[in-house]
């Protein structure tokens, strides 16, 4: 029980609900708190005033409020309880998330058999309308099975397969939030249950080669990942993997060119191509990287323009290949390249 919540809601009907209770009963680390109470707005402001943090509405439609606590990444969500705890739990997704702990202390309230399902390792929908109420739960069912090493029960499995086409209905950021948490085995399960194809994903790539959520998303969705609201960094990462081409050999020049197109993710790009045997060559090339360039752009004696960048890149390649190694050689090479571009 969180003593802070108990302090601000002492004497009121309020419950700890959702994943907080599930993780506590499983003996897993408990992260963010989800509190169901009569007046979420007032409770959130009272919590923030007493313990610090920023308050903002989480859902105007549902009347939920969130406190981002001061000095940590923890959040405390306060959700409304208009019809009592039984109605609240009946509206939740899975029985393992439909257990409530009273703020004032006492035994868990578990009208749907969530504790038994936790002990048996089962993901079971609370009701037959669970996935129609929120199609994101289609993904969440498989994600919970994946994360907890549980199994989806037969009835819930049938419901997921029946409504698989609705998996595209939630907002893109909600879908992406679930997909980011899947392991390679989880993506295979999504595919087996008919949930991956509607989202534009496939299992044609080297999914197990790198244990990184960014890598799995790039492998499964490739260009289609850009249809989701991904970050600029993830967009750059995915583009680097997709433009990668297997080096023709392990020469210093070939590896340098490959790295120029794919760093800082060259090793992930090799895995994406199924070319892990070249990893040692990439690592050796990285170790050989010079600390300083032979020349800077303003030392080439050339007018400003894009040609300077191209020539500097060529100097770096020749240096990696071992054909030039001194500043004078770099300057001579630059002049030769500039004259060649002028004549052409």
Give whichever of 12-21, 71-80, 136-145, 326-335 has the largest mean pLDDT: 136-145
Q: Per DSSP, what are the bridge partners of residue 66?
A: 56, 77
Residue 150 clears pLDDT 70, i.e. is over it: yes
280 exposure class (CB count in 10 Å sphere: 0-12, 13-18, 19+): exposed
pTM of the model: 0.88
The CA-atom distances, in angstroms, between 164 and each of 110, 186, 294 are 29, 16, 58
Average the pLDDT over 229-251 and give the result.
97
Q: What percent of the chain has pLDDT above 70?
A: 98
CA 235, chain centre distance (Å):
13
At residue 96, does pLDDT exceed 70? yes
For the chain, domains (ranges, CATH) are 1-120 (3.30.460.10), 245-287 (no CATH), 297-343 (no CATH)
* Mean of per-residue pLDDT scores for the chain: 93
Backbone φ and ψ for 340, nearest 5 degrees, come out as: -65, -40
Give residue 2's Cα distance to chain centre.
Answer: 28
Contact by Cβ (8 Å): 270, 242: no
Chain segment 188-218, per-residue pLDDT in tens: 999 999 999 999 999 999 999 999 999 999 9
How does pLDDT run across 274-303, given as a tens digit for each residue?
A: 999 999 999 999 999 999 998 988 888 777
Strand locations in 51-174 (E): 53-59, 64-69, 75-80, 101-102, 122-123, 151-152
pLDDT at 38 over 80: yes
Nearest Cα residue to 279 out of 203, 205, 209: 209
Dihedral sign for Cα 74, 78, 79, 83, please. positive
**DSSP result, 133-166:** H-THHHHHHHHHHHHHT-EE-HHHHHHHHHTGGG
Confidence grade of residue 239 (pLDDT, cut at 50, 70, 90)? very high
Give mean pLDDT, residues 148-163. 98
pLDDT at residue 10 in the model: 86
């Amino acid at each position: 029980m969180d003593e802070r919540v108990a302090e601000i809601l002492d004497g009121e009907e309020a419950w700890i609900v959702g994943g907080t209770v599930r993780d506590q009963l499983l003996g897993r680390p408990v992260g963010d708190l989800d509190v169901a109470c009569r007046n979420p707005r007032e409770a959130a402001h009272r919590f923030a005033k007493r313990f610090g943090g920023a308050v903002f509405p989480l859902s105007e439609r549902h009347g939920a409020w969130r406190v981002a606590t001061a000095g940590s990444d923890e959040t405390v969500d306060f959700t409304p309880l208009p019809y009592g705890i039984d109605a609240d739990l009946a509206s939740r997704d899975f029985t393992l998330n439909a257990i409530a702990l009273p703020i004032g202390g006492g035994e868990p309230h578990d009208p749907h058999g969530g504790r038994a399902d936790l002990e048996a390792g089962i993901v079971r929908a609370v009701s037959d309308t669970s996935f129609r109420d929120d199609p994101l739960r289609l993904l969440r069912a498989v994600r919970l099975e994946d994360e907890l090493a549980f199994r989806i029960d037969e009835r819930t499995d049938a419901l997921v397969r029946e409504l698989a086409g609705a998996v595209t209905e939630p907002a893109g950021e909600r879908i992406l939030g679930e997909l980011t948490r899947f392991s390679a085995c989880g993506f295979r399960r999504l595919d087996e249950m008919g949930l991956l194809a509607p989202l534009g994903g496939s299992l044609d790539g080297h999914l197990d080669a790198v244990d990184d959520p960014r890598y799995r998303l790039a492998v499964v969705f490739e260009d289609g990942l850009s249809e989701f609201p991904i970050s600029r960094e993830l967009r750059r990462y995915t583009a680097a993997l997709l433009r990668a081409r297997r080096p023709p050999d392990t020469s210093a020049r070939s590896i340098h060119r490959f790295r120029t197109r794919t760093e800082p993710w060259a090793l992930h790009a090799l895995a994406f191509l199924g070319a892990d045997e070249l990893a040692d060559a990439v690592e050796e090339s990285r170790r050989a990287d010079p600390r300083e360039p032979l020349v800077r752009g303003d030392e080439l004696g050339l007018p400003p323009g894009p040609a300077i960048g191209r020539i500097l890149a060529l100097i770096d390649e020749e240096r990696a290949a071992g054909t030039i190694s001194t500043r004078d050689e770099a300057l001579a090479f630059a002049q030769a390249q500039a004259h060649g571009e002028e004549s052409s």
